[in-house]
Amino acid sequence: MKLEFEEIKDWQEFEDMIAEYFRLIKYDDNNVTEVVVEPTGNGSDGGRDILVTFNASDSIQSFKRKWIIQCKFHTGILKEKEMATINIPGKIHEYGANGFLLIVKDRVHSNISQMFENFRKNCRLFYNYDIWNGNQLKSRIQEKDKLIMQYFPKYYKFTKDQEKQLEDVK
């Protein structure tokens, strides 16, 4: 059995899982001192589902990084027309963010990848633009038992049963 997003019932639960993933980061990264996660709430998000602020320290100086997170719980390839209403650089500027992260359940069309590549290449303000496809997201959450237990109960039970079987063999 593989970790599958079919266990997530809707876009709201997907966004909740992503928000929880970012809340858990402070326990994984010794340089991150605080993570503030601000979901949009109900209503139109205008291209910002979650705003994440990381307070960190590199042993010389403390600094803050802010990311706009757009989640797309879209089955199949996310096409450019589904991103057409979002002025991504404008959103970054509006929220005083350092970057924009698009997280998709499946994958994006090559036009979206090209758009993000052009943003990265041509941005004079050094904003960051990134995309996590479904497989990248799965690999990031794979080791977070709390997320697996809460959002992927069938997969969690399967892995625990497998672990128990291995222990029984020993």
Look up the domain containing 127 and give its range. 5-169
Rounded-to-integer distance, Cα 54 and Cα 37, Å: 9
The whole-number pLDDT of residue 46 equals: 60
Coil, strand or helix at 158: helix
Q: What is the CATH number of the domain that holds 165?
A: 3.40.1350.10
The number of C-alpha atoms within 13 Å of 103 and in the hemisphere containing its C-beta is 26
Rounded-to-integer distance, Cα 170 and Cα 149, Å: 25
> For the chain, how many structural domains are there in total?
1
- The predicted-structure confidence for 87-121, as pLDDT tens digits, reads as follows 999 999 999 999 999 999 999 999 999 999 999 99
- Measuring CA to CA, how many Å separate 7 from each of 57, 95, 102, 156, 159? 37, 32, 21, 11, 15
Please say if the pLDDT value at position 33 is more than 90: no
